[in-house]
Structure 1
């Protein structure tokens, strides 16, 4: 058995006025809980240090850049790294990254138990739009503030497991999990900030939105025989609700732990990485069963094409 005790550190709302330091204190409190429950790895949400600022339309680049981190760790986050290092807990969390050459990404990082960053991922599937949209109930401007990720879907051998990362909307795309699966992933670390309301179809409702979130993670886990840890930032941020639904899914697609609130909440499960092996050597033995001669369309076009009438 290769068991890692995984903590999913769901976070409640972060208001626009909340400082990075105040948020980090909340993250450390969750890490304290994780230590008391013997966690080896703790996963925090997407954009864990700030409110979900892409809901705000901004034209002043200095105002936009306020929400971005120029280095990691930095003065605000070093206490989190120090506490994780003291506890011997590996962590993963998301933040807005401003690179030295001026590029903006929606980023997640992974550390080892020594607090050293061993992996970085930049969100590939950016939802939303670029300009102010009068047809939406509220704005979702990720395409305005971020570039599509340029690092691809990678994995890292970390603390006895093959780990990969993705962020929010990535979880809805089967290509995300399959590329990670083809690299032998055993543990997918996934943070998200998902509005409770569909800005383009308000009638959809929270129940359906939670269902689709869970469906995508369960399918990705099962079809690639991997653990998936999906962790939300939830609750009402400056009047805008984000859904919870944080969960841990096993390599057979079953939910084994799930958050019950939209607040700061730690979910924990002992995850045996060896449970991935059966699926990877039977129904999803890619070497034996994949038929790549028929998959070329997946990487040769983006939009769907229909047969002529």
Structure 2
């Protein structure tokens, strides 16, 4: 049995006024809970270190940059890395990354159990818009503040498993999981910050949002015979509600752990990586069953082209 005891560390809201140090202290508290329950990997949400700042329109780049991290770990996050090293727990964290040459990405990292960064993923599928939208109930300016990720969908071998990462909207795109599936992925970890209401369709509320989020992850887990761990930042951030719904999904698409709150909450499950084997060797044995000669449109075309 190749078992990883995983902690899905859902976080409650980060207010605009909260310092990095205050937020990191909450993350360390979740890490301590995870250690007490035997976890060897803890997954934190997207933009775990800040509020979801793309909900605000900013035209001053200096102001925008205050929400980004120039290095990782840094002074504010070092206590989390130090404690993870002491406890022997690997961590995965989402944050806004500013590179030394001035690029801006929505990023997630993965460490080993000695708190050494072994993997970095940059969000590929950026939702929202780049200019102020008067028709939206609230803004969603990821396309303004971030560049599309340049990493592709890599995987890493760690804790005797093949691990990949996604971020938020990526979870809705089956191509992302399949590229990792073709590399043998056994565990996909992802963080998200998803509003409880659709800014462009107010009738789509929490129940539908949670359903679509869970559907995306459970279907992908089944179709790639992989564990999927989806971790939310949730609750009311400065008057803007984010949904929870953090889950751990097994390789057959079943939810084995689900958050019950919209606050700081730790889900724990002992995930056996060998449970991936049956699906990968039978119905989703890609080498035997895929027919790539018919899939060309997936990589040759972006928008829909309808027949005349």
TM-score by length of 2: 1.00
Residue in structure 2 matched with residue 263 of structure 1 by the alignment? 263
Is 1:170 the counterpart of 2:202 in the alignment?
A: no
Residue in structure 2 matched with residue 52 of structure 1 by the alignment? 52
Residue in structure 1 matched with residue 143 of structure 2 by the alignment? 143
Residue in structure 1 matched with residue 216 of structure 2 by the alignment? 216
Matches within 5 A, 1:117-132: 117-132=117-132
Matches within 5 A, 1:224-239: 224-239=224-239
Residue in structure 1 matched with residue 17 of structure 2 by the alignment? 17
The 2-side partners of 1:100 and 1:38 are apart by 37
Cα displacement string for residues 60-87 of structure 1 (whole angstroms, at most 9, x for unaligned residues): 0000000000000000000000000000
Unaligned runs of 5+ residues in structure 2 are none
Matches within 5 A, 1:153-302: 153-302=153-302
Structure 1 segments, 4+ long, off by >6 Å, are none
**Per-residue deviation, 1:263:** 0.2
SS at match of 1:9: strand
**Per-residue deviation, 1:159:** 1.2
* Root mean square deviation of aligned Cα: 0.3
The 1-side partners of 2:138 and 2:108 are apart by 25
The 2-side partners of 1:252 and 1:26 are apart by 33
Unaligned runs of 5+ residues in structure 1 are none
Cα displacement string for residues 161-180 of structure 1 (whole angstroms, at most 9, x for unaligned residues): 10000000000000011001
The 2-side partners of 1:24 and 1:244 are apart by 19
TM-score by length of 1: 0.99
SS at match of 2:203: helix
SS at match of 1:70: coil
| Matched residue count | 308
**Per-residue deviation, 1:207:** 0.2
The 1-side partners of 2:4 and 2:109 are apart by 19
**Per-residue deviation, 1:205:** 1.3
Cα displacement string for residues 72-105 of structure 1 (whole angstroms, at most 9, x for unaligned residues): 0000000000000000000001000000000000
The 2-side partners of 1:2 and 1:164 are apart by 17
